[in-house]
């Protein structure tokens, strides 16, 4: 029975049919990357892909910049990849015939133009590349010094439904999620390399709460699945906080990985919940993107220099 | 200011383990004074690396601090870590017999740097990474000897105020006699941090927490009820010690310069 269902899934995937699944198995790799060593990180990816396939996962998600590590600074050009001509991506594309993959990397889009990007691979192809729009450049962050700025939040079709990707700080700007919602996203995937900050009474960093708060709110008010994959490990003393999670379209927490520990989380999610909750809470039906667009236009026009 | 003991312990232990692993070390080494900070660091190192991979150097000058020596020995016994006592009197006295001074600060700094020299020498002999023991209060006030006790390979305690280290010590079950000791830089007999700084640690940390962690302005902090003279003194100490927290400036001449635009992570390829 399970075998039949899987066969059907892979057939659908190879035919490129979209959004026909009633449920899916999602795997999150809450890992630590080696800073600046793409080869080593690629092997870690292969290891986890293998593991996810054994678990019969349909989709495997890695954190932000999973192929390179985060605090790259002047290493950015050295580790950059152009996915269409890169042999590692050729291999990843092949692997994506069996399991859909989301991962983070430094993209050289045009010669000498680098982006903090994420790729969604499925059925042997790259379905979408998201380039991080909000590059944190304050306090301990300096991304805008090293990366070009992405210019879009796009919803794209996947075998499991309409999907959107965000990278870390993108997600802390709620307008990013709104654009994905307005674009019809049913699944929002956030890749993150969020360092922990601040003391908490609990056994975690105070900053983990802000991601969870956003996860719960965005999933509930977008009536969409919200999948957040954060990394762990240290880079230059910064400790990435882990605590990856999945929220249902109801805003209910479905799964949460431990804070700061490496983890591999596998969760079956019921895609029917999207329809169920959109019937009950018609936020999507009642959304008025044209009103928002016009109002934004007026707000922007009235900005004073 | 309250910390979660188990969480901070976990983060610091993992930090020590990961950093040593990344840089190819199995062993750690630290200077153990018998005071609270180096004791807490020794406790963490013993847990992170297992006791046989931790070496504590006790480096007394003459018989100035016999109580500290006794405490340091008892910690070594308690943790079952490796240790060595190296008397720094011959080296320090040799220098001051040629360049005599009674200036306590000059003498104290010389001793702190002598200890640093020995730590680096033993670090190389034993292939052990130096674990620093400077806390956040000292780092912010510049209350330490540059290239002396402020020098290290990694500094696990650098983001904890003195009062938070006391909380961590309690959680780690550091013996009470060490937790209750009066903090001293150990530069001369009878020196205490609080006497020298002129402000009690609780108050120093509370003010630093508002200024640094909470990013409050001087006037905001004063309006919270802290003494104006204390707040002003602390701000002055922070400003005057920025040089201790930075690499020395390099005049820019070329197209790409160390410290300006040659920007690589510390954990490069690690």
How much is the average pLDDT of A210-224? 98
Task: Name the residue facing B263 among A35, A36, A73 (closest C-beta).
Answer: A73
- Of B26-35, B102-111, B176-185, the one with minimum mean pLDDT is B176-185
Distances (CA, A) of A13 to A5, A57, A94, A103, A122: 12, 14, 13, 19, 8
pLDDT band at A238 (very low <50, low <70, confident <90, very high): very high
B64, two tokens: 């100035």
| Contact present, A232 and A262 (Cβ < 8 Å) | yes
Contacts of B263 in chain A (CB under 8 A): 73-74
Distance of CA A282 to the CA centre of its chain: 25
* CB contact (8 A) between residue A203 and residue B270: no
pLDDT band at A2 (very low <50, low <70, confident <90, very high): very low
pTM: 0.93
Q: How many domains does chain A have?
A: 1
Q: What is the DSSP letter of B209?
A: I
Distances (CA, A) of A260 to A5, A55, B194, B203, B217: 35, 23, 36, 32, 33
pLDDT at A220 over 70: yes
Complex ipTM more than 0.90, yes or no: yes
Contacts of A196 in chain B (CB under 8 A): 11
Task: Name the residue facing A35 among B2, B14, B269 (closest C-beta).
Answer: B269
A72, two tokens: 């790259």
Q: pLDDT by residue (tens digit) across B108-167?
A: 999 999 999 999 999 999 999 999 999 999 999 999 999 999 999 999 999 999 999 999
* CB contact (8 A) between residue B10 and residue A203: yes
How much is the average pLDDT of B63-85? 92
* Confidence (pLDDT) at A236: 95
CA distance B20 to chain A (A): 12
Within 8 A by CB and 6+ apart from A110, the residues are: none
Residue with tokens 């991304």: A143
**Exposure pattern of A5-34 as b/e (b: 16+ CB <10 Å)?**
eeeebeebbeeeebbebeebbbbbbbbbbb
Higher-confidence position of B166 and B194: B166
* Residue A296, domain member (yes or no): yes
- Alpha-carbon distance B136 to B179, whole Å? 18
| Contact present, B34 and B65 (Cβ < 8 Å) | yes
* Residue A5, domain member (yes or no): no
CA distance A4 to chain B (A): 45
Distances (CA, A) of B9 to A19, A153, A203, B17, B218: 46, 40, 10, 12, 32
How much is the average pLDDT of B209-226? 97
Helices A174-182 & A289-301, crossing angle to 10 degrees?
140
Helices B36-49 & B66-79, crossing angle to 10 degrees?
20
Domain extent for A188: 24-301
Give the best residue of B5, B9, B270 to mutate against chain A (max A CB count within 10 A): B270
pLDDT at A13 over 70: no
| Contact present, B245 and B139 (Cβ < 8 Å) | yes
* CB contact (8 A) between residue A235 and residue B267: yes
* Confidence (pLDDT) at A19: 64
- Quick check: B182 contacting A, CB < 8 Å? no
> Residue A61: beta bridge partners?
A28, A102
Residue of B nearest to A35 (CA): B269
Q: pLDDT by residue (tens digit) across A31-53?
A: 999 999 999 999 999 999 999 99
pLDDT band at B245 (very low <50, low <70, confident <90, very high): very high
* CB contact (8 A) between residue B265 and residue A202: no
- Quick check: B188 contacting A, CB < 8 Å? no
* Confidence (pLDDT) at A7: 43
pLDDT band at B8 (very low <50, low <70, confident <90, very high): very high
* Residue A69, domain member (yes or no): yes
Q: pLDDT by residue (tens digit) across A285-302?
A: 999 999 999 999 999 998
pLDDT at A68 over 80: yes
* Measured distance between the N- and C-terminal CA atoms of chain A, rounded to whole angstroms: 64
- Residue A219: CATH number of its domain: 3.60.110.10
* Residue A227, domain member (yes or no): yes
pLDDT band at A200 (very low <50, low <70, confident <90, very high): confident
* Confidence (pLDDT) at B112: 96
User: Is the domain covering B5-191 a CATH 3.40.50.620 domain?
Assistant: yes
């Amino acid at each position: 029975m399970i075998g039949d269902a899987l066969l059907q899934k892979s057939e659908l995937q190879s035919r490129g049919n979209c959004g026909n699944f009633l449920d899916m198995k999602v795997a999150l790799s809450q890992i630590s990357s080696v800073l600046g060593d793409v080869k080593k990180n690629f092997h870690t990816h292969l290891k986890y892909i293998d593991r996810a396939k054994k678990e019969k996962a349909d989709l495997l998600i890695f954190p932000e910049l999973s192929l390179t590590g985060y605090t790259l600074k002047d290493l950015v050009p050295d580790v950059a990849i152009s996915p269409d001509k890169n042999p590692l991506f050729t291999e990843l594309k092949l692997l994506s015939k069996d399991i859909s993959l989301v991962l983070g990397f430094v993209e050289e889009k045009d010669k000498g133009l680098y982006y903090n990007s994420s790729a969604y691979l499925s059925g042997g192809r790259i379905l979408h590349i998201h380039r991080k729009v909000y590059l944190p450049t304050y306090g301990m962050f300096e991304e805008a010094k090293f990366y070009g700025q992405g210019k879009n939040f796009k919803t794209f079709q996947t075998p499991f439904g309409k999907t959107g990707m965000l990278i870390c700080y993108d997600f802390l700007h709620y307008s990013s999620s709104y654009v994905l919602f307005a674009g019809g996203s049913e699944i929002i995937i956030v890749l993150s390399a969020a360092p922990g900050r601040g003391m908490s009474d609990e056994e975690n960093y105070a900053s983990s709460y802000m991601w969870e708060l956003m996860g719960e709110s965005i999933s509930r008010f977008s009536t969409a699945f919200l999948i957040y994959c954060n990394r762990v490990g240290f880079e230059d003393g910064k400790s990435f906080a882990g605590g990856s999670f999945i929220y249902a379209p109801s805003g209910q927490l479905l799964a949460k990985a431990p804070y700061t520990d490496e983890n591999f989380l596998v969760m079956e999610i019921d895609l029917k919940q999207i329809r169920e909750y959109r019937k009950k809470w018609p936020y999507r039906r009642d959304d008025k993107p044209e009103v928002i667009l016009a109002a934004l236009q007026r707000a922007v026009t009235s900005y004073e220099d | 200011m309250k910390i979660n003991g188990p969480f901070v312990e976990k983060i610091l232990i993992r930090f020590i383990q990961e950093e040593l692993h990344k840089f190819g070390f199995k062993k750690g080494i630290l200077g153990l004074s018998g005071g609270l900070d180096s004791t807490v660091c020794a406790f963490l190192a013993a847990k992170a690396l297992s006791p046989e991979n931790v070496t504590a150097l006790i480096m007394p000058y003459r018989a100035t601090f016999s109580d500290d020596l006794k405490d340091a020995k008892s910690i070594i016994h308690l943790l079952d870590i490796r240790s060595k006592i190296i008397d720094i009197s011959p080296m320090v006295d040799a220098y001051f017999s040629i360049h005599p001074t009674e200036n306590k600060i000059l003498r104290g700094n010389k001793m702190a740097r002598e200890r640093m020299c020995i730590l680096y020498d033993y670090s190389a002999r034993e292939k052990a990474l130096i674990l620093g023991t400077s806390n956040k209060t000292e780092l912010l006030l510049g209350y330490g000897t540059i290239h002396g006790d402020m020098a290290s390979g990694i500094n696990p305690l650098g983001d904890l105020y003195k009062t938070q280290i006391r909380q961590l010590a309690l959680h780690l079950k550091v013996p009470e006699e060490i937790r209750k000791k009066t903090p001293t830089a150990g530069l001369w007999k009878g020196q205490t941090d609080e006497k020298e700084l002129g402000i009690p640690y609780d108050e120093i940390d509370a003010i630093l927490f508002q200024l640094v962690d909470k990013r409050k302005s001087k006037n905001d902090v004063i309006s919270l009820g802290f003494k104006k003279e204390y707040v002003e003194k602390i701000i002055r100490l922070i400003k005057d010690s920025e040089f201790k927290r930075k690499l020395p400036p390099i005049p820019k001449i070329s197209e790409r310069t160390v410290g300006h635009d040659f920007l690589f992570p510390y954990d490069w390829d690690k």
